[in-house]
């Protein structure tokens, strides 16, 4: 019996933080409806602060790794969500059958650039983690695909 899950790709510049958190949230909260993937236009490795704040919420990202979009070229997606402006403007050409949605989440490293210590840095990461969770829990994900 074929899977009823739809596939979503979260695309970011470096696939280190926002797209990884989005993949983890969807797979944790919406796994009966969606199978999530993430990739980047480039690969920057996994962001340890992103892993840490997701773990605080009970979501384990230690099995995820930073991927280039080329690694997923054989996958078929129902939806691609670009999570940063750079990825949106550099998104590779996709078949017209794929819905593309742009949700520019704040960039945690940019938010934390003036932080005085790790405690302040984590505040920025938690803020974006919670923004992404709210998006995943909302109906926006399902309504993006008709």
Q: Which of 8, 9, 11, 12 is catalytic?
A: 12
Q: 11 pairs with which residues across the strands? A: 39, 82
Given a contact cutoff of 8 angstroms between Cβ atoms, the answer to whether 11 and 39 are in contact is: yes
84 is catalytic: yes
CB 46 within 8 A of CB 111: no
Active site residue 17: no
Q: Pick from 108, 64, 100: which is nearest to 79 by CA?
A: 100
Catalytic residue among 91, 100, 111, 144: 91
Active site residue 12: yes
Burial of 113 from C-beta contacts in 10 A (0-12 / 13-18 / 19+): exposed
One of 36, 84, 87, 103 is an active-site residue; which one? 84
Give catalytic residues, as residue numbers: 12, 84, 91
């Amino acid at each position: 019996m074929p899977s009823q899950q739809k596939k979503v790709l979260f695309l970011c510049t470096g696939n280190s933080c926002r797209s990884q958190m989005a993949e983890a949230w969807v797979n944790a909260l919406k796994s009966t409806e969606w199978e999530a993937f993430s990739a980047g236009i480039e690969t920057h490795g996994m962001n340890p602060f992103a892993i840490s704040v997701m773990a605080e919420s009970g979501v384990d990202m230690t099995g995820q790794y930073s991927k280039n979009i080329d690694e997923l070229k054989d996958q078929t997606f129902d939806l691609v969500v670009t999570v940063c402006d750079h990825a949106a403007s550099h998104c590779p050409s996709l078949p017209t059958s794929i819905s593309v949605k742009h949700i520019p989440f704040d960039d945690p490293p940019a938010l934390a650039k003036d932080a005085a210590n790790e405690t302040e840095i984590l505040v920025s990461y938690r803020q974006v983690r919670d923004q992404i969770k709210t998006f995943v829990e909302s109906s926006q994900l399902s309504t993006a695909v008709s």
